[in-house]
Amino acid sequence: MTSTRAFWEKHGEATTTAICAVFVTCGFVVERNVGPSWLSTALFLSGYIAGGYRQAIEGTTKLFVERELDVDLLMVVAAIGAAGIGYWFDGALLIFIFALSGALEGYASARTQRDIESLIALNPEEAQLVVATGETRVAIETLRVGDVVVIRPGERVPADGRVAEGSSLVDQASITGEAAPVSKRVGDEVFAGTINGQGGLRVTVSKPAAETVLARIIEMVREAQERRPAAQLFIEKFERIYANVVVLGAVLFVVVPIFVLKWTFDAAWYRAMVFLVVASPCALAASMMPALLSALSNGARNGVLFKGSTFVEALGKVRAVAFDKTGTLTTGRLEVVQTVAADGSDPVALLARSAAIEAMSEHPIGHAIVAAARRQGALIETVRDFQATIGVGAQAELDGVRWHVGKAELFASVPPQLAVGRDRFERAGDTVVLVGDVTARGLIVLRDTVRSNAIEAVSELRRLGIEHVAILTGDNQGAAQIVANAVGADRVHANLLPADKVRIVEEMMARFGSVAVVGDGVNDAPALAIATVGIAMGAGGTDVALDTADVVLTADDIGRIPYAIELGRRTLRIVKQNVVIAVSVMVLLVCADVLGRISLPAGVVGHEGSTLLVTLSGLRLLFQLRSAKVPGIPPALRARTDAVS
Ligand code: ADP
Ligand code: MG
């Protein structure tokens, strides 16, 4: 029984449209072959009911409950009005084409809905929790931070967390889009919804079920569907007012010709019904949403999540792009290449002390320092009162002394030999942080790698005519310049605090109008927020960046940005075309009607034809334009789609 319901929910509109088509065709055949008129009338009537009952019920409820006139109801009224003066076929044709365009629009939103469902299917439901007596199966909602769960080979990871025991290869395609499984050992991060390979793992849960990366992505896609862009809201409001104008016009159309021009009632009524049809703004209403929903769906299948359809359009208008460096243009997986202690003390001890502070940090530099200290077998102590200064560094209390890691301004003095060493490394393109208490006592040199597709991403942006590509970083000029040279950026802004990033983005917006900012860190969040479009790295990005951005790259792939801009542009173009088609067809048909030069079937075909045309035109965005390098459906949705087909 449930399967019947599922079928009905999915294909209900298409089915009733098909039934309507059959009845109308039969009615037409009977009528033409001079069959009994009661039979053709009965057939047409059945067609009316099959194709129009839904809108009739919805429209009347809306009229009486919300006191709002629905355009759909006008169509039903026009069809009944036509039937009333004997034009059964004309009305039936109207009902059929009208039902067909409704079914097509439903198809676009069903497609986006399906994309969301396939993501939800990835969401695990249960976890194997470690308890005092052994293991027990629990719902993931009951997991708490700090719980330990067991993940056996082939199982889906139930929560975001860190590996506490064991090692394995994990297929993270659903979250990051990486095709190859990633090796996970003790201390590594795993994500809910990814699939464990051959090893057994014990994982310490680090986030409640509602806050996992996957849960956030699902939430974002849901919201995106519901948020309607301002232009669409305007059209909807306009439509409501306009519907009343159309009814008034139709009434005038009956009254004026009868009393002024002395037409017969039937003739005037017929013109009025034609007017009701051709003047309705159905095509205008269908100009936007099918296109935008299709674009959202296309994006989701290509690793680009828009938090609302407004941002599809906004991205289409972007003329300049500002990239964060660390973690965005570079992998953010830094390596410590050298530790230098100023006073000849032990560099390993210095590294261990830095790691103790950075253990609390979310910054890529922090992760690198902790990893390096672990590799050297250093003992990482627990610190008190950790404080991060975004874009500058971090500090904490260790054995009663306040230690700092980060830029020079954190220290009262920097010994000349350290300053000289730092400048030399920085000129060579490395990232350097100082370590010390009041005085800097040493420095740590780190190296990052430019993402393999960063160069291509920037050159693609240029091909699309993006006028300006800038790099915004809190890191030093030398390191920034090396990356800029590698990818071919126009400008480098180094040594920036979060507020400086905002200022530069504002300057860019004043100069170029629409600016996209791409970033991953806490320090990028303010800039992401004020940019025309903020784009965040999905898996590698911090939670704040993810929350602030308008667009999320689920696969952390900046190579998808040019594709996303192209998608935005194409969407803009199609919506514009649609509005022009809708309005001009409407004006043309109304003029023809006023001049009495159009029959009801012709009006119906013209009007509904334009509605169908703009809907179909919007749906093109579902299929076109896959980013060239992405093999069709992205991994996030592949597992599910395979299972279905
Ligand atoms: P980006 O803009 O390139 O992502 P950030 O603004 O996050 O860089 O950091 C800028 C600089 O601030 C770093 O290059 C580093 O010198 C310092 N810094 C920030 N956070 C830390 C930290 N946790 N530990 C050490 N240094 C840090
Ligand atoms: Mg960054």
| Structural domains in the chain plus CATH codes | 13-117+226-292+571-628 (no CATH), 126-211 (2.70.150.10), 331-450 (3.40.1110.10)
Residue 405 CA: nearest ligand 1 atom is 25
Residues 6+ apart with CB under 8 A from 450: 329, 330, 331, 483, 486, 487
Please give the model's pTM, rounded to 2 decimal places: 0.77
What is the spatial distance between Cα 93 and Cα 276, in angstroms, rounded to a whole number? 15
pLDDT at 225: 64
Decide: helix, strand or coil at residue 284.
Answer: helix
Q: Tell me if 448 sits within 8 A of 334, measured CB to CB.
A: yes
Residue 392 CA: nearest ligand 1 atom is 12
pLDDT at 640: 31
pLDDT at 116: 61
pLDDT at 545: 83
pLDDT at 645: 28
Alpha carbon nearest to ligand 1 atom 24, residue? 393
Within the chain, which residues score under 70 in pLDDT? Answer: 1-3, 108-109, 111-122, 173-179, 221-222, 224-228, 624-645
What is the spatial distance between Cα 204 and Cα 165, in angstroms, rounded to a whole number? 9
For ligand 1, mutation pick of 425, 434, 475, 502 (most atoms within 8 Å of CB): 475
pLDDT at 565: 96
What is the spatial distance between Cα 68 and Cα 54, in angstroms, rounded to a whole number? 17
Pocket of ligand 1 contains residue 404 by CB under 6 Å: no
Pocket of ligand 1 contains residue 473 by CB under 6 Å: yes
- From ligand 2's centre to the CA of 540, what distance in Å? 10
pLDDT at 541: 76
pLDDT in tens, 409-441: 999 999 999 999 999 999 998 999 999 999 999
Pocket of ligand 1 contains residue 361 by CB under 6 Å: yes
pLDDT at 548: 84
- From ligand 2's centre to the CA of 363, what distance in Å? 8
The tokens describing 554, both together, are 């689920």
Helices and strands, number each (H, E), in the chain: 22, 22
- Catalytic annotation on 324? yes
Which conformational region is residue 17 in: left (phi greater than 0), alpha (psi within -120 to 50 degrees), or beta? alpha
